[in-house]
Amino acid sequence: MKESLLEARRIMIGKTILKFDTLDSTNEYIKKHALEFDQGTIVVAKVQTKGKGQYGNTWESPVGNLYFSILLRTKLSRESIFSYIMKTSISLVKLLSNHNVTATIKYPNDILINNKKISGILIESIGYEHLDAMVLGIGININQDHFNNLNYRATSMKLETNQITDIDSILEDFIRIYNHLDVSIDVHKQYLNSSILLNRSINYKGKEHIIKSINKQGDIVLECMGKLLTVRYDELPVESFYQFS
Ligand code: BTN
């Protein structure tokens, strides 16, 4: 097994958990304090005033949901980053399934229920000299029942189950599931099993291709007339598969 996958399994998270009522962004807080914090430190906030999403978007962060970030001191390669994306995504799917909510993975790292987003992951690298590290920021919609002006459809555990869920217990569950993902489980296979992208057809360079797989580096494997080719995420219009509106 590749070193990056083994490493993603070895790092235990949540030995130190720092809890705040309000922060601008838990990712920003970890980035500012990365040199002081240990491997696997988690920072959690009840509210974020400047919650960040992917592609420079804002992550709406009112009280009632879970917002947390994890510090990972690790080699920063595409493969190691994708191994954390896979592990985090399947931990989130398992967590939701423990609460009777069936979730799928929207490649690369959104978690959906019936095509509505319930959780997102924002990975940022940390650029100190002599520090190879990244921040894994996770937002899970828990008790929110109204979403304003999003450019995608969103849901929450409350909307799916009609129940109010204790936010601290969700964080504890996440840490337990993440830390105990068994070494014998094939993280890559589980990620593929929960991914909604496979076997869809897509137009690439004017020809129809079938999405056969996502490899361990996070690239997409296409097939066209019996030939396989591998393309990077940003070369394909995968967003067109996800009808959010
Ligand atoms: C996405 O756009 O899907 C990623 C959302 C990530 C949100 C989380 S909430 C905790 C952490 N702090 C942030 O500012 N963003 C991430």
> Average pLDDT, stretch 101-109?
92
- CA–centroid distance, 121 to ligand 1, in Å, is 6
Nearest-atom index, ligand 1, CA of 109: 3
Nearest-atom index, ligand 1, CA of 61: 9
Cα–Cα nearest to 142, from 107, 115, 111? 111
Return the higher-pLDDT residue of 152 and 113: 113
Residue 242's pLDDT band (boundaries 50, 70, 90)? Answer: low
Mean pLDDT over the full length of the chain:
89
- Is 132 in contact with 220 (CB distance < 8 Å)? no
CA distance 53 to 57: 5
> Average pLDDT, stretch 126-134?
75
Sign for the CA dihedral angle at 9, 40, 216, 118 comes to positive
pTM: 0.91
* 243 has pLDDT over 60: no
Residue 244's pLDDT band (boundaries 50, 70, 90)? Answer: very low
Report the pLDDT value the prediction gives residue 183, as an integer from 0 to 100: 59
Please name the residue whose Cα sits nearest to atom 11 of ligand 1.
137
Q: Which region holds residue 114: left if phi is over 0, alpha if psi is between -120 and 50, else beta?
A: left
Report the Cα–Cα distance between both ends of the chain, in Å, rounded.
Answer: 40
Ligand 1-lining residues (CB < 6 angstroms): 25-27, 48, 51-54, 57, 59, 67-69, 110, 120-122, 137-139
Report the pLDDT value the prediction gives residue 101, as an integer from 0 to 100: 94
> Average pLDDT, stretch 33-58?
95
* 219 has pLDDT over 70: yes
Lowest mean pLDDT among 42-46, 68-72, 119-123, 184-188: 184-188
* 60 has pLDDT over 80: yes
Nearest-atom index, ligand 1, CA of 57: 2
Please name the residue whose Cα sits nearest to atom 7 of ligand 1.
139
- CA–centroid distance, 53 to ligand 1, in Å, is 5
Return the higher-pLDDT residue of 5 and 54: 54
Most confident region among 60-74, 126-140, 224-238 by mean pLDDT? 60-74
Report the pLDDT value the prediction gives residue 4, as an integer from 0 to 100: 57
